[in-house]
């Protein structure tokens, strides 16, 4: 959750170190950082704080409680 609400900004040195690992990491993809910036351009502190409050409201006995719902396939594709 935390990385979604407050994305990590990695330095070039961190990215270079991640590229040396055997496991692929999305942050090393050349398209990742520009796309992340584009998606977050309109996300202000108030929106992030609301997202945190919304997430905390899902907690039951200290654990996140989530559920699923049925939606039309066309709508599900728009959510991707």
Higher-scoring residue by pLDDT: 50, 23: 50
- C-alpha–C-alpha distance, residues 38 and 21, integer Å: 27
Look at 1 and 62; give whichever has higher pLDDT.
62
Does the pLDDT of residue 24 top 60, yes or no?
yes
Residue 39 binned pLDDT confidence (cut-offs 50, 70, 90)? confident
Residue 63 pairs in a beta bridge with 60
Residue pair 54/62 in contact (Cβ under 8 Å)? The answer is no
Strands 63-64 and 59-60: antiparallel
Domain that holds residue 71: 2-78
pTM: 0.54
Number of domains in the chain: 1
């Amino acid at each position: 959750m935390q990385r979604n609400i407050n994305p990590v900004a990695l330095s070039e040195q961190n990215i270079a170190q991640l590229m040396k690992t055997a496991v692929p990491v999305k942050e090393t993809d050349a398209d990742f950082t520009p796309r992340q910036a584009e998606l977050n351009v309109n996300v202000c502190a108030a929106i992030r704080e609301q997202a945190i409050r919304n997430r905390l409201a899902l907690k039951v006995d200290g654990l996140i409680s989530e559920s699923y719902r049925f939606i039309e396939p066309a709508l599900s594709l728009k959510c991707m």
